[in-house]
């Protein structure tokens, strides 16, 4: 019997939401690099050696958008491991949700060409499977998060 092994990469994504008078908004980045260069996506990236997915999610959120949150504030949405979710190969992502204050400021950083708040209920087409992740966070998590404090770290 011949064994084959698949390289798997571990990533973390963040559904970052703020409440506004027009309804909840989702923080997105415009990807500066392939794949999906130029498309909107959730902030996120690779989990570094020795790092937890939750810590990576908080780090990536800050590096890409300037939004600083404590890793403990991130609530797990789920693990996303469909074999074809990324054109570069097999990527498994731990996705988290966090609610921040309406006055949260942002700035594009690292591989984000732009930072944009979009309506959570209709964010438009997002890269990868990020529409599904945002939908599940909205459906399964946000009712609980409304009772949690909002703001910075």
User: Domain of 81: which CATH number?
Assistant: 3.90.79.10
Establish if 2 belongs to a structural domain.
Answer: no
Establish if 59 belongs to a structural domain.
Answer: yes
Establish if 37 belongs to a structural domain.
Answer: yes
The domain total for the chain is: 1
3, 6, 60, 114: the catalytic one is: 114
Establish if 140 belongs to a structural domain.
Answer: yes
Question: DSSP class of residue 111?
Answer: T
Establish if 84 belongs to a structural domain.
Answer: yes
Establish if 1 belongs to a structural domain.
Answer: no
d(CA 132, CA 63): 23
Task: List own/partner pairs for 52-60 with CB under 8 A and 24 or more apart.
Answer: 53/10, 53/12, 53/94, 53/96, 54/12, 54/94, 54/96, 56/11, 56/12, 57/12, 57/13, 57/14, 57/94, 57/95, 57/96, 58/14, 60/12, 60/14
Establish if 151 belongs to a structural domain.
Answer: no
- pLDDT tens across 52-81, in order? 999 999 999 999 999 999 999 999 999 999
- pLDDT tens across 80-127, in order? 999 999 999 999 999 999 999 999 999 999 889 999 999 999 999 999
Beta bridge partners of 98: 16
Domain that holds residue 121: 8-145
Is 114 considered catalytic here? yes
Beta bridge partners of 13: 44, 95
Six token digits for residue 10: 């571990």
Please, which pLDDT band fits residue 40 given cuts at 50, 70 and 90?
Answer: very high
Establish if 3 belongs to a structural domain.
Answer: no
């Amino acid at each position: 019997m011949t064994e084959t092994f698949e390289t798997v990469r571990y990533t973390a994504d963040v559904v970052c939401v703020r409440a506004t008078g027009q309804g909840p908004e989702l923080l997105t980045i415009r990807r500066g690099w392939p794949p999906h260069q130029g498309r909107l996506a959730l902030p996120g990236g690779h989990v570094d050696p020795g790092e937890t997915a939750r810590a990576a999610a908080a780090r990536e959120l800050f590096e890409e958008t300037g939004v600083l949150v404590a890793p403990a504030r991130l609530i797990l949405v789920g693990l996303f491991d469909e074999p074809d979710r990324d054109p570069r190969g097999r990527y498994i992502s731990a996705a988290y949700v966090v609610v921040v204050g309406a006055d949260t400021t942002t700035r594009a950083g690292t591989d984000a060409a732009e930072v944009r708040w979009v309506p959570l209920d209709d964010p438009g087409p997002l890269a990868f499977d990020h529409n599904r992740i945002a939908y599940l966070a909205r459906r399964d998590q946000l009712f609980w998060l409304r009772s949690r404090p909002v703001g910075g770290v």
